Amino acid sequence: MKTTRAPLVTLALLASFLVTTSCEKAYHEETEKFIFVAANINLPYWQEAKAGLNDAALAMHVKEDFTGPESYDVNQELAFFQSAVASHPTGILLQATRPELFKSDIDKAVQQGIPVVTVDSDAPDSRRLLFLGTDNVRAGVESGKHLAELLHGEGNVVVIYIPGQLNLEERMQGATQALGGYPKIKITQKLDDKGDPRVANDLIGALLAKNEKIDGILCLEASGAPGAAEVLHRLSLEGTITIVGFDKNPETLDHIEDGWIKGTIAQKPYTMAYYGVRFLDDLHHNIVHEFKDWRTAPASPLPTRVDTGTAWVDKSNVAAFRAALASHQQPLGPPAQ
> Who has greater pLDDT, 317 or 4?
317
The reported pLDDT for the residue numbered 17 is: 41
Alpha carbons 263 and 253: distance in angstroms, whole number: 8
The reported pLDDT for the residue numbered 123 is: 95
Could you tell me the sign of the dihedral formed by the alpha carbons of 255, 258, 264, 269, in that order? positive
Question: What pLDDT digit, counting tens, does each position of 141-194 carry?
Answer: 999 999 999 999 999 999 999 999 999 999 999 999 999 999 999 999 999 999
> Who has greater pLDDT, 301 or 263?
263
Alpha carbons 157 and 313: distance in angstroms, whole number: 20
Alpha carbons 252 and 266: distance in angstroms, whole number: 10
Q: What is the radius of gyration, based on Cα positions, of the chain?
A: 24
The reported pLDDT for the residue numbered 3 is: 44
| Residue 302 near residue 312, CB atoms below 8 Å | no
| pLDDT (mean) for 273-278 | 96
Inform me whether the pLDDT recorded for 6 exceeds 60: no
Percentage with pLDDT > 90 across the chain:
77
The reported pLDDT for the residue numbered 320 is: 93
The reported pLDDT for the residue numbered 328 is: 57
Inform me whether the pLDDT recorded for 104 exceeds 60: yes
Question: What pLDDT digit, counting tens, does each position of 312-331 carry?
Answer: 999 999 999 999 887 655 54
The per-residue pLDDT of the chain, averaged, comes to 89
Q: How many CA atoms does the CB half-sphere of 270 hold within 13 Å?
A: 16
Name, in order, each residue with C-beta under 8 angstroms of 239's C-beta and a sequence gap of 6 or more: 232, 259, 260
Question: What pLDDT digit, counting tens, does each position of 10-23 carry?
Answer: 444 444 444 444 44
Alpha carbons 228 and 175: distance in angstroms, whole number: 18
Alpha carbons 271 and 11: distance in angstroms, whole number: 45
Question: What pLDDT digit, counting tens, does each position of 23-54 carry?
Answer: 434 678 878 999 999 998 988 889 999 999 99
The reported pLDDT for the residue numbered 26 is: 64
Name, in order, each residue with C-beta under 8 angstroms of 91's C-beta and a sequence gap of 6 or more: 34, 35, 114, 115, 116, 117, 277, 280, 281, 283, 284
The reported pLDDT for the residue numbered 177 is: 97
DSSP 185: E
DSSP 285: T
**Structural domains of the chain in order of their starting residue, each with its CATH number:** 33-134+268-310 (3.40.50.2300), 136-266 (3.40.50.2300)
> Who has greater pLDDT, 291 or 316?
316
The reported pLDDT for the residue numbered 124 is: 94
Inform me whether the pLDDT recorded for 334 exceeds 50: no
The reported pLDDT for the residue numbered 309 is: 95
Question: What pLDDT digit, counting tens, does each position of 206-248 carry?
Answer: 999 999 999 999 999 999 999 999 999 999 999 999 999 999 9
Alpha carbons 107 and 111: distance in angstroms, whole number: 6
Percentage with pLDDT > 70 across the chain:
89
| pLDDT (mean) for 117-140 | 96
DSSP 252: H
Alpha carbons 56 and 62: distance in angstroms, whole number: 9
The reported pLDDT for the residue numbered 28 is: 81
The separation between the first and the last C-alpha atoms of the chain, rounded to the nearest angstrom, is 50
| pLDDT (mean) for 92-116 | 96
The reported pLDDT for the residue numbered 48 is: 92
